[in-house]
Chain A
């Protein structure tokens, strides 16, 4: 039977969804089309606010009080869902359509044992007996590769880790054997190595159960790994849809192209091939331009054509399944490289400014109640951290949650004292110098950029007053007029309009807030800036702008950047040297080049393999780690990675602390594997040469 004869599991025809607020009707999704065949996986990708989650909610018919479908139809197995009764919809939801949300903890009832919650699904939807339901739940838990299903059935949600919770949620969704599974950013809250496992599982599901998937994500790399077709959304519209391979290599919409050139893929380089962000901002839903919504940000905008009427989705070639919402896609020369952003000579690093030697930070926690004087436990948050940072150098500290990177930042900033070792900034030892006892001069040399843009600014004070406070505090300027001038300069540096100084943080978008955070960090002319995941909460196109900004300021001020991140793509793009941490210990350190090519530490190898890369020419060796990250309060006595390591040698790795092997000058791997084995490792990421009609990434010579 050919595909065209089958009934699609789901079909959206010219779907329009609006929210009704006090400000009037706000169209959230406009003219959305989608056809999903049985067993097919369809990705929806777009930045925050583009309406991708609204589509999922509309399919679930779960729009809330103020949302509604105002046009078009949603056909589920050929029947229009809008005409179904409430009773019918209820039966379909959860049994034929299931959804997995971003935050697993929010999807599980915290006061019910997991077994009970899982068993409810078949009991409610199929009316099977309790024993049968329990048995089926247990089988399903095993098939989502959860170890020891028996134990998990008897646990409460908070007793298992985030990755396991998400597996339980997926199991729950699969229990009713749905025809359609909606996944809304299912791995965004998880660590990369855990994410890789879930992605693997999702791929298995569609193969094993024949379930159709709609995978919603902001991450193009994940979509590439999981889906066969893709819709790119922008400001409530689908702008391009087609097969993954076609869209990834022969994109025909300027927005898609902009999106691709703003993500760091192997080959991008902060000096020679800087990323290009898309200029401007996403229009607000009630202030969309006429014609093409992307028009004002597009390099190929032609007045009189792009700003007229409502644009239809056009097939790229007649009869092809590749559609694009652009009137000029035939006129744009797609083979020409996009306008190049400025190239720079690499930054020359200078003298050593920060010298961390054998720094350890242990916390003592009392287990049991204070009354019983229970045994004290030591959490080794940082264990013998040693590295040096030079002037104008970017050092990335990479690791997943619980690896101790935040503790390290706290010690450096003087909010915690180190247990052992030294942290030398110039001739001052910071290891046990709390911030209250540091001189103004020392404090101003060390500043920080924070992860969450919505948390980094005090919502009660204006942007200007928050920046000027730093200026006055560190005595850069004292005269009010000069302080204001300096605030304006800083806003110029971070490319924000000057009148933002009077604004409140809530009037700013996430990317703008992060820029203000950067301006604040640089207000006191710091020598070292610690950036704790500064871009991980931002949309990709904004990410590119912020990373670009950081490099520009660094080049100008010769600041040392300590870049804490879990995202190896960004790290590869930005960092000169990389430190890979796991459970408080350094696993491997070296230059970016050394970290990304063999010899690897087994953990680095797995980490590299786990990072999704949005590039069809990249081939990765698959290493999926089993198990979860052990609790930092109870790490294995030997190598902390031994519980998940594919190369583990029983009796050695789990008992003895691994030796530091210096593979090259300043390239250190802490591993029991002998040098020959390490050197014999194969590269994880290989780039296959491909015929690309548009040399987007590699650029012209």
Chain B
């Protein structure tokens, strides 16, 4: 008999980083950052003007801490850190933009002011658009809406996709046939057609973007989760749970889902970028978020006609580059995560 001596291991003193890396503290931080931002964007009209300026205050330190923790935990992957930096640049901008010394993004000051011009006592760092609104202020304010709606839409799509994927994969049989058939039908529509159909039918609003993105993305997510479930459900530990008489719901959520998390997280990052593109495109087509509040898609749409002449191209390029940097950030994180998961 192997005598395994129990070596008393005194728990190493928990550093602040270790404490912050605990799932619980991460969740608290994310919520502290995300909830104010979400409320600020989604329920902008119904929040009293006395509270609104202070709403985003707790989000700023949370975002900064999260960024620090992220950089320290992913320091082995430079790619992931570049992605993280891009994302958190926009996140920190999103939560701190009310407190930055910016002019009102909707106030016309000097139309067609070029980059670096000083007109009407205002220094236009990134110029002004054709209505004379400050491009810098509009670009920075614009990230709020893209981020909030993009992430919300992706999360909802994931929720729906995971539920159906787990049911189809684990229960199989008729469940699988019906769900897969519906998914195939949805996947066979060109995505843009699907978006336009839904938005035309339901009307243009942020919540309807969520619905449209869910319809477009959930089938693909369902296929991924279904495949992962197929893979995992023949493992012995699932067999053990079954022979313990566990409820199928518990097996799906507690035993199967956590083991699918790796590929799901990587895919979610890629899909976030994809959703951002979709939202910007919808707004560009006039089907998404409505003017006058700044939004990148909207800015591109409004600038589209003017920007045909090269000296005004900046009106188009600035929001376009902003979108690209955000999407690039999500994609780089996905790449970095995949790389890190392959190493271990």
Contact = CB atoms under 8 A, between A and B. Distances in A.
Interface string B241-278: 01111100000000100110100000000000000000
A496 interface: yes
B236 A455 contact: yes
B9 A415 contact: no
A328 to B, nearest CB: 22
A111 to B, nearest CB: 22
B3 A279 contact: yes
B4 A443 contact: no
A495 B7 contact: no
Interface string B203-240: 00000000000000000000000000000000111011
Contact of A473 (B1, B3, B244): B244
Interface string A382-393: 000000000000
Contacts of A496: 4
Contact of A435 (B5, B245, B259, B261): B245
B4 A461 contact: no
Contacts of A414: 243
B193 interface: no
Contact of B258 (A280, A435, A440, A460): A460
A451 B4 contact: no
Contacts of A552: 1
Given A436-B245, A438-B245, A499-B9, A455 B4 contact: no
A325 to B, nearest CB: 23
A448 B4 contact: no
B15 interface: no
Given A278-B2, A455-B235, A473-B245, A497 B7 contact: yes
Interface in A325-381: 341
A527 to B, nearest CB: 14
Contact of B2 (A280, A455, A470): A280
A95 interface: no
B244 A443 contact: yes
B235 A548 contact: no
A497 B2 CA distance: 12
| Centre residue among B5, B240, B261 by max chain A CB count within 10 A | B240
Contacts of A620: none
B242 A415 contact: yes
A458 B243 contact: no
A456 B7 CA distance: 26
Q: Which label, helix, strand, loop or mixed, suits the secondary structure of the A interface? A: loop
B255 A458 contact: yes
Contacts of A563: none
Interface centre among B2, B240, B343, by most chain A C-beta atoms within 10 angstroms, is B2
A495 B243 contact: no
Contact of B6 (A277, A448, A497): A497
B2 A450 contact: no
Given A413-B243, A455-B237, A499 B1 contact: no
A452 interface: yes
A545 interface: yes
Nearest to B261: A460
Tell me which of B237, B246, B255, B258 has the highest count of chain A C-beta atoms within 10 A of its own C-beta. B237
Contacts of A549: 1
Contacts of B7: 497
A446 B243 CA distance: 9
B246 A450 contact: no
Contacts of B243: 413-415, 435, 443, 446-448
Nearest to A440: B245
B1 A451 contact: no
A459 interface: yes
B4 A452 contact: no
A545 B4 CA distance: 11
A457 interface: yes
A436 B250 CA distance: 13
A435 B248 CA distance: 12
Given A451-B236, A499-B6, A435 B255 contact: no
A201 to B, nearest CB: 33
A452 B236 contact: yes
Nearest to A448: B243
A456 B236 contact: yes
Given A443-B245, A473-B246, A498-B6, A460 B259 contact: yes
A495 B4 contact: yes
A341 B246 CA distance: 40
A52 interface: no
A495 B240 contact: no
Interface of A: 22, 276-281, 341, 413-415, 435-436, 438, 440, 443, 446-448, 450-452, 455-461, 466, 469-470, 473-474, 495-499, 520, 542, 545, 548-549, 552
Interface of B: 1-7, 9, 235-237, 239-240, 242-246, 255, 258-259, 261, 343
8 contacts: A276-B1, A277-B2, A278-B2, A279-B3, A448-B240, A450-B240, A458-B237, A495-B2
Given A438-B245, A450-B236, 15 more contacts: A276-B1, A277-B1, A279-B1, A279-B2, A281-B2, A341-B1, A446-B243, A456-B236, A459-B259, A460-B261, A469-B244, A495-B4, A498-B6, A499-B9, A542-B2
